[in-house]
Homo-oligomer: A and B are copies of this chain.
Amino acid sequence: MARGGCKSVFLSVFDYKTEKYVIANNKKVGVLFRLFQLGVLVYIIGWVFLIKKGYQEREESIQSSVISKLKGINLINTTQNISRVWGPEDYVIPPQGEGVFFIVTNFIETPNQRLGYCAESTKVVDALCEDDGDCIEEAAVRASHGIMSGRCLNSTGTCEIYGWCPVEANHKSMDATLMGAVNFTVYIKNFIRFPHFNFSKSNVLDTKNETYLKSCFYDKIANPYCPIFRLGDIVAWSGNDFNRMAVKGGSIAIMIEWNCDLDKDICNPEYSFTRLDHSVNSITTGYNFRYAHYYNDEAGQTYRTLYKVCGIRFDIIVNGEAGKFNIIPTVVNIGSGLAVMGAGVFICDLVLLYMMKKSTLYRERKFESVMQYDSPKWNHTNKKNLAREVVLEMN
């Protein structure tokens, strides 16, 4: 007995062992099982591999560098009624052309501000006063332009402040000053790299000749790979009206999506445009900030010109994903699919063993007891049958 035991252990290494199956002549469960298998196969091959490219390792961490360059000039009229020519050096902030750039489309200029005492703007609610008591000395109320002197000026009904005077004029110029900006062009260079796959590419295709780059304009259908955009188009594509947007300013995203299949060596940029600051409450819309140019007069006294610039800010947001064949995800998807198929067996067994008539019979044949003598099943059926057959044989 032990010998046989050892032997079987020994053999088991070289011999091929295969599960013993019981054939249940049961079409219902059989078809059910086949359907289940079919479903899993269709899912794995069709959905996971063909559609979702489950055989690829995907990388989402993209390295990106963006350079933008604007072109276009415009004639504007300053408050001193001097018609001035504005070029990129004036309306592009910051000038060096990064991934986020700002175009001045409208501005309020407050020239020749000097340090001194003057009345606070009536726009500053906390600075409205009836008598000096309302103006706390040395205080700086929210959004104020200076430090309160403590006096209340009846002329304007606001506190007197020490600061850069006169304070900024709060007239809303309803027509954007830099209307011409609609025709300005921006040339966007985007260089990307997928560190994993060590794959890098630029959105400026090398195949294009210089003249093409000098003359083309991006268009989703006609020129999908031309990196030069008209500002007017960008705003329009984002679903906004340039002229209306130019007044209060706003923020627009130029999204560049790289969807790369490195197996097929397909990797091209796709541009889309959305407005970022659009929302229900108007307080969050618009985009403006202030900066000042400082000058010294002959006496060496500093005076400045304050600019409150409204404009459109463009965020060039780059993201992408690259996929390349890799054995690990492939095995994971196949393996887990097969395992789920196994689950199908379990379910079908339940149906077979407990929901069919003749379930008992199936159970008896599927499950075989090791202890044959004290097993009722054995005596009950098998032995009898065998005996009967034998007797038949003998006669």
Q: A67-B313, A87-B145, A338-B343 are in contact. Are A376 and B60 (CB under 8 A)?
A: no
Q: Interface SS of chain A: helix, strand, loop or mixed?
A: mixed
Cβ contact within 8 Å between A206 and B281: yes
Interface assignment of A77: CB less than 8 Å from any CB of chain B: no
Residues 199-230 of A at the B interface (beta carbon under 8 Å): 200, 202, 204, 206, 208-210, 213-214
Within the assembled complex, what's the spacing in Å between the Cα atoms of A22 and B209?
72
CA distance A34 to B13 in the complex (A): 8
Q: Scan A1-37; emit 1 where CB is below 8 A from any B CB, else 0.
A: 1101101110111111111111111110111111000
Q: Note all chain B residues with C-beta closer than 8 A to A144.
A: 73
Segment 350-389 of A: residues with Cβ below 8 Å from B:
352, 354, 359-372, 376-377, 380, 383-387, 389
Given the contacts A16-B24, A387-B389, A363 and B8 also touching, CB distance less than 8 Å: yes
Does chain B have a CB within 8 A of A174?
A: no
Assuming A61-B321, A191-B276, A282-B210, is B370 touching A85 (CB within 8 A)?
no
- Cβ-defined contact, A338 with B331, below 8 A: no
Q: Is the CB of A319 within 8 A of B5?
A: no
Q: Which residues of B contact A253 (CB under 8 A)?
A: 63, 65, 191
Known interface pairs A4-B380, A20-B368, A85-B164; A317-B63 also in contact (CB < 8 Å): yes
User: Is the CB–CB distance between B370 and A23 below 8 Å?
Assistant: yes
Min C-beta distance of A297 to chain B, whole Å: 8
Q: Is A323 located at the chain interface by the 8 A CB criterion? A: no
Residues of B contacting A394 in the complex (Cβ-Cβ under 8 angstroms):
387, 391
Given contacts A7-B376, A102-B96, A213-B281, contact A345 B206 (CB under 8 A): no
The reply to whether A370 and B25 form a contact with Cβ atoms under 8 Å apart is yes
User: CA–CA, A32 to B363, complex, Å?
Assistant: 23
Given the contacts A14-B27, A65-B276, A281-B206, A306 and B372 also touching, CB distance less than 8 Å? no
Whether a CB of chain B sits under 8 angstroms from the CB of A348 is yes
B15 touches A74 (CB 8 A): no
Contact A9-B73, Cβ < 8 Å, known A327-B47, A339-B339:
no
A222 to B291, CA, bound (A): 34
**Given A67-B251, A328-B333: A23 and B369 interface contact (C-beta under 8 Å):** yes
Contact B12 A97 (CB under 8 A): no
A24 CB, min distance to chain B CBs, angstroms: 5
What is the distance, in angstroms, from A347's C-beta to the closest C-beta of chain B? 12
Q: Is the CB of B202 within 8 A of A73?
A: no
A208 vs chain B, min Cβ distance (A): 7
Q: Looking at the complex, which one of B296, B363, B389 makes contact with A295 (CB distance below 8 Å)? A: B296
Interface residue A142 (Cβ < 8 Å from any Cβ of B)? yes
